[in-house]
Amino acid sequence: MKLVSWNVNGLRACLGKGFLDYFHSAGADYVCLQETKMQPGQAEVETPGYRVWWHSAVKKGYSGTAVFARREPLSVAYGIGQEAFEGEGRVITLDTGDFYLVNCYTPNAQRDLARLQYRMDWEDAFRAYLLSLDEKKPVVLCGDLNVAHREIDLKNPKSNENNAGFTPQEREKIGLLLDSGFVDTFRLLHPDARDAYSWWSYMYGARARNAGWRIDYFLVSRRLADCVREANIRSEVLGSDHCPVELVLAL
């Protein structure tokens, strides 16, 4: 089974930059998108053979997630069940039968860490949500988690200390999630891989220089770790300031 996660930074724009070429060539069973920045019906996305579920933000042109699936899920849920975190279209959960697939676009702490406390509250609520799912069946979490966990996960860790996405608080929260029973699939298969990034700033030619961050993940419940066959970062795929990340499971 193949799964894809991609922050497209505006699906309507990405459609004009080769999105469908990658989508069809990937041949995935599930494709999870973040930062779609659109409402259903604002663009025609031709993906025959797939059903799609949208979770758009109330604010137009902001945030939003979507899941394309070849298989009909048992159920689909939106959000994490807490009103304080509704309205931004950040989470879609599919019960695939074998596992819960959770597609997430984590809130950014923002410049000057203006939203760091909101982010911390989100992290606690989201971890509780994931653990409640994990009690029932295994979880596959994917998405833009807006954090580089370790220094190896970004090009310039020293100069980015205390910047959004690399604060001690955010790094501690993803560490706590992993310690709660989840596995970072990329690091499971590529523990020492360097210069492996999934996001690059549009400024200063960062992508050409590969001065990036790894902030897009597939995490799985620890009991699925033996099922992980591939965990890839498709840095050659353009169309967004993020690239797709892929997971292959043998279930």
Which residue positions form the known binding site for Mg(2+)? 7, 35, 144, 146, 241-242
Measure the CA dihedral 230/233/240/48, to 10°: -20
Among 105, 129, 197, 217, which one carries the catalytic annotation?
105
Active-site residue (options: 134, 144, 153, 184): 144
Phi/psi-derived region of residue 49, left when phi > 0, alpha when psi is between -120 and 50, beta in every other case = left
Q: What is the DSSP letter of 108?
A: P
- β-pairing, 139-144 with 182-184? unpaired
- Please compute Rg for the chain using Cα positions: 17
Annotation marks residue 129 as catalytic: no
E strand segments, the chain: 2-7, 30-34, 51-55, 65-69, 75-78, 91-95, 100-105, 139-144, 182-184, 199-200, 212-213, 216-221, 228-233, 245-249
Instruction: Mark whether 144 is an active-site residue.
Output: yes
Residues catalogued as catalytic: 105, 144, 242
